[in-house]
């Protein structure tokens, strides 16, 4: 249709699974939703709503990069995780999604590209397209447990590549970045003049210990411009409060130029609300309680899933180390969509791997957030349908 930008000409057709789901809901039939990713609907600890009623909540004295007190709260939160950063190097935004849009504006001319992991949560396609930026997916090989293979990154880059995006740990694959992978990636970034954008929203949610794991790139000495992203959405389970942060690091001249430019971008929008910034120290004080409850939840649900798998099953739970999801590898036949539709018919909603751009096999993605009794109630049908 004329009169609209091609950037917003997104396909909006429903896929067969979405149609079948709408039909089932219209019939009022019960469903166990193993795609639930909203932490506020999972019965996990919430902060006291009174925290947002600060005495200064209605004042307006904006600082483009975020109120100093709020940036200091993020710096001291990172300090509790053993990461030393300066509040001067932090920029607040309404979410990490918004931070991505600002970074694409900062780094890319229209037509430039950024290298993004595949499989991955489908977050970047719309963000990039709205900024006129192209995506170059690099594969996270299944053979490496969906870990980063720097050869795949290097092979996808070209003269118009401006940044590499790393999701650490991957969503939904749950694999963390390791020191050796970061060192190899840093060498490629330095050689090709690429910035590193590291999405660390799930970094707090590790299920085990691993040697050489990189928890965050914030506060590290790296040879390239480095952006480390996180926010209240996952750290405190509060996506509705709309507050994320970006730590900017790397060689000091490039870092300071990036901070100066980002300050202007942020000043153009001033998108973070005052009450949430004022409440941030208290909200981050609540975060460890939420994180502990969430971790116990996902570990219990994963334990139930692993225990429910019959020894001779033709499907498996893909090994992982963190995050909020489980990935199942299933037989190629009947495949992802047919299996999802059969599960829906049996009253269980899961996501097909294609939603996350999995390749080289058939996969399902299950949220580990539902209460254990809800999650457990779905496992009988899951095992039965997967047995064919």
Ligand X SMILES: Cc1ncc(COP(=O)(O)O)c(C=O)c1O
Give the residues lining the site for ligand X (CB under 6 A).
95-97, 121, 123, 167, 171, 199, 201, 231, 233, 239, 244
Q: Which is nearer to ligand X, 167 or 305 (CB)?
A: 167
CA dist 21 and 342 (Å) reads: 11
Sign of CA dihedral 253, 257, 258, 260: positive
Smallest gap from Cβ 48 to ligand X, in A, equals 22
Smallest gap from Cβ 388 to ligand X, in A, equals 32
Q: Which is nearer to ligand X, 123 or 282 (CB)?
A: 123
Q: What is the CA radius of gyration of the chain?
A: 21
CA dist 55 and 216 (Å) reads: 34
Closest CA to 169 of 337, 2, 324, 345: 324
Smallest gap from Cβ 100 to ligand X, in A, equals 8
Smallest gap from Cβ 96 to ligand X, in A, equals 4
The DSSP H or E segment spanning 28 is: none
Smallest gap from Cβ 205 to ligand X, in A, equals 11
SS3 374: helix
Q: Which is nearer to ligand X, 169 or 219 (CB)?
A: 169
Q: Which is nearer to ligand X, 273 or 376 (CB)?
A: 273
Smallest gap from Cβ 260 to ligand X, in A, equals 24
CA dist 255 and 319 (Å) reads: 37
Q: Which is nearer to ligand X, 95 or 339 (CB)?
A: 95
Alpha helices in 249-279 (DSSP H): 252-269, 274-278
Q: Which is nearer to ligand X, 200 or 341 (CB)?
A: 200
Tokens of 47: 């902060």
Three-state SS letters, 317-338: ECCCCECCEEEEEECCCCCHHH
Q: Which is nearer to ligand X, 238 or 385 (CB)?
A: 238
Smallest gap from Cβ 333 to ligand X, in A, equals 30
CB 108 within 8 A of CB 88: no
Give the residues across from 249 on adjacent strands.
Answer: 226
């Amino acid at each position: 249709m004329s009169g609209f930008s091609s950037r917003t000409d997104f396909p909006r057709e429903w896929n067969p699974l979405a149609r079948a789901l709408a039909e089932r809901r219209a019939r009022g039939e019960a469903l166990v939703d193993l795609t639930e990713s909203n932490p506020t609907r999972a019965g996990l600890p919430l902060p006291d709503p009174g925290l947002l009623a600060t005495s200064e909540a209605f004042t307006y004295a904006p600082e483009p990069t975020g109120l100093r007190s709020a940036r200091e709260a993020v710096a001291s939160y990172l300090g509790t995780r053993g990461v030393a950063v300066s509040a001067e190097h932090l920029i607040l935004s309404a979410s990490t999604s918004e931070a991505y849009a600002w970074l694409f504006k900062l780094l890319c001319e229209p037509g430039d590209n950024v290298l993004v992991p595949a499989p991955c949560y489908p977050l970047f396609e719309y963000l990039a397209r709205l900024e006129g930026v192209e995506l170059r997916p690099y594969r996270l090989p299944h053979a490496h447990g969906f870990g980063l293979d720097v050869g795949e990154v290097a092979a996808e880059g070209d003269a118009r590549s401006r940044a590499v995006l790393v999701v650490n740990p991957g969503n939904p694959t749950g694999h963390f970045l390791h020191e050796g992978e970061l060192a190899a990636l840093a060498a490629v970034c330095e050689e090709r003049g690429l910035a590193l954008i590291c999405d660390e929203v799930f970094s707090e949610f590790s299920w085990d210990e691993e040697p050489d794991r990189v928890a965050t790139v914030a506060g590290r000495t790296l040879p390239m411009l480095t952006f480390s992203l996180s926010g209240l959405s996952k750290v405190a389970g509060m996506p509705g409060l709309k507050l994320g942060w970006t730590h900017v690091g790397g060689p000091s001249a490039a870092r300071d130029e990036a901070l100066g430019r980002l300050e202007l971008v942020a000043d153009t929008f001033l998108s973070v609300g005052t009450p949430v910034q004022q409440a941030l120290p208290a909200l981050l004080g609540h975060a460890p309680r939420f994180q502990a409850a969430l971790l116990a939840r996902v570990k219990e649900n994963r334990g139930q899933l692993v225990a429910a798998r019959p020894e001779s099953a033709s499907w498996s739970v893909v090994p992982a180390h963190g995050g909020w999801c489980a990935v199942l590898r299933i037989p190629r036949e009947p495949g992802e969509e047919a299996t999802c539709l059969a599960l829906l018919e049996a009253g269980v909603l899961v996501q097909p791997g294609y939603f996350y751009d999995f390749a080289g096999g058939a996969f399902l993605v299950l949220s580990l957030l539902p209460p254990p009794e809800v999650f457990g109630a779905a496992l009988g049908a899951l095992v039965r349908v997967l047995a064919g």
